[in-house]
Amino acid sequence: MSEAARFDVIIIGAGAAGLHCAWQAAARGLKVIVIDHAKQAGKKILISGGGRCNFTNMYASPENYLSNNPHFCKSALSRYTQWDFIALVEKHGIAYHEKTLGQLFCDHSAKDIVRMLLDECAQYGARVQLRTEVTAVSHAANVYSVTTSQGTLHAPELVVACGGLSMPKLGATPLGYQLAEQFGHRILPVRAGLVPFTLHEQTKQAYSELSGLALDVVASNARASFKEAMLFTHRGLSGPAMLQLSSYWQPGEAFTVDLLPGSDALHELQQLRHDKPKQGLKTALQSWFPKRFALTLAVQHGWPEKNLADCSNELLAQVAEQLHAWHVQPNGTEGYRTAEVTLGGVDTDQLSSKTMASKLQTGLYFIGEVVDVTGWLGGYNFQWAWASAHACAEAL
């Protein structure tokens, strides 16, 4: 074994979690190498937040995360908070702003965040080696040997930071789950999260000409409720409200959308009937919605072509109820192709919440998205990557 191939720590994955872990471990005096099969480090960071990277959220707390064990994320998140990451961003002079709901974005470019992480790696001497395919990993005599397209590397500690399955075109692979299984870990079922919904053919056709239309709504099911924007697309429904709810949705389920949150549709319809009795019901709907949406809603629900004066209280109540609880029955989601995250993953029961270390195998760690901890939309997923990376780096 050549000295050049021996490290204290090998990290697989030069994404958010891997890079953040690498520089902090190197800062503690460890000889660290991060390997990645991609040509570029931090590809997801680069395209995140529309190229401006929503790098954290001012209100991040454990309630914003989904996991089979909702307590698991608490320790790491409390020991490396959004304020710690913000301090790092400020130390590097990166200008940022709050867009909405505590979401912090770079003023200029997501490249600033990748540059910051690579600068920290360079400063402390953590090596980042790209275009490196992992072909095998073994463990013997307390040393991990990682065979790659660039030769074999050895270290007593191995950090798996190679993310989930979302966006294969950005380099996502199942390697993290495969390594976990190789060392006896349980993988909780994975599925696409923060992903647009697709609609059944008939509904899709009815709503497809609304593509581009956005409405402020409250989308809800039995598990969660989100007050954000909904966007009609050619394939179905997207926008923050839909992405958020998708993480709480199971195939086959329906959900409801309040199209007039905060208002009393029945009261307003009755008032309109009093003020403008000759107005048609479909025209009345246009006081809230663009014409094409009002007409499509009326057709889809079979609301009659009547003047308001001829609409009974019962009919108006029915219309109001459907406006406040528009029933959506998706036929699925767009899947990993467009999903921002992968739900499920390495079961937290077999990891230490303080260090991210395997409870089954010495010297093995899992950080970031590969772990069964998934954040809401809005900077929460990067905050998990930073916090879990920090917890691990402190323990190496």
Exactly one of 22, 23, 37, 94 binds ligand FDA (CB under 6 A); that residue is 37
Which segment (36-44, 70-78, 151-159, 282-290) binds ligand FDA by CB under 6 A? 36-44
| Residue 390, H or E segment | helix 380-395
Place of tokens 């940022």: 96
Q: For every residue of 152-164, which 3-state class applies, written as one string?
A: EEEECEEEECCCC
333 forms part of the interface with ligand FDA (CB under 6 A): no
Helices then strands, counting H and E runs in the chain, come out as 13, 22
Instruction: Return the number of the residue (173 or 203) whose C-beta is nearest ligand FDA.
Output: 173
Site string for ligand FDA, 361-380 (x = CB under 6 A): -------xx---------xx
14 forms part of the interface with ligand FDA (CB under 6 A): yes
| Closest C-alpha among 380, 383, 384, 369 to residue 192 | 369
15 forms part of the interface with ligand FDA (CB under 6 A): yes
Task: Read off the tokens for 263.
Answer: 């208002």
Number of residues forming the site for ligand FDA (CB under 6 A): 36
Exactly one of 7, 11, 18, 293 binds ligand FDA (CB under 6 A); that residue is 18
Q: What angle do CA 114, 119, 122 make, to 5 degrees?
A: 130
| Residue 324, H or E segment | helix 313-324
Place of tokens 């995360």: 65
Task: Read off the tokens for 96.
Answer: 């940022």
Exactly one of 7, 289, 293, 382 binds ligand FDA (CB under 6 A); that residue is 382
Exactly one of 9, 22, 44, 257 binds ligand FDA (CB under 6 A); that residue is 44
191 forms part of the interface with ligand FDA (CB under 6 A): no
Longest alpha-carbon distance in the chain: 88
Instruction: Return the number of the residue (166 or 296) whose C-beta is nearest ligand FDA.
Output: 166
**CB 95 → ligand FDA: shortest distance, Å?**
17
Say if residue 34 is exposed, middle or buried (CB neighbours under 10 Å; 0-12, 13-18, 19+). Answer: buried
Which segment (33-41, 202-210, 282-290, 312-320) binds ligand FDA by CB under 6 A? 33-41
Q: What angle do CA 274, 276, 278 make, to 5 degrees?
A: 115
Exactly one of 5, 38, 206, 315 binds ligand FDA (CB under 6 A); that residue is 38
Q: For every residue of 187-256, which 3-state class applies, written as one string?
A: EEEEEEECCCEEECHHHHHHHHCCCCCEEEEEEECCCCEEEEEEEECCCEEECHHHHHHHCCCCCCCCEE
Q: How many other CB atoms are there within 10 angstroms of residue 8's CB atom?
A: 16
User: Which amino acid does the sequence have at 366?
Assistant: F
134 forms part of the interface with ligand FDA (CB under 6 A): yes
Task: Read off the tokens for 235.
Answer: 């394939």
240 forms part of the interface with ligand FDA (CB under 6 A): no
385 forms part of the interface with ligand FDA (CB under 6 A): yes
Instruction: Return the number of the residue (220 or 374) whose C-beta is nearest ligand FDA.
Output: 374
Instruction: Return the number of the residue (154 or 292) whose C-beta is nearest ligand FDA.
Output: 154
Exactly one of 9, 24, 25, 36 binds ligand FDA (CB under 6 A); that residue is 36
Which segment (85-93, 121-129, 166-174, 221-229) binds ligand FDA by CB under 6 A? 166-174
Q: Which residues bind ligand FDA (CB under 6 A)?
A: 12-18, 36-38, 43-44, 47-49, 53-54, 134, 161-163, 166-167, 171-173, 175, 340-341, 368-369, 379-382, 385
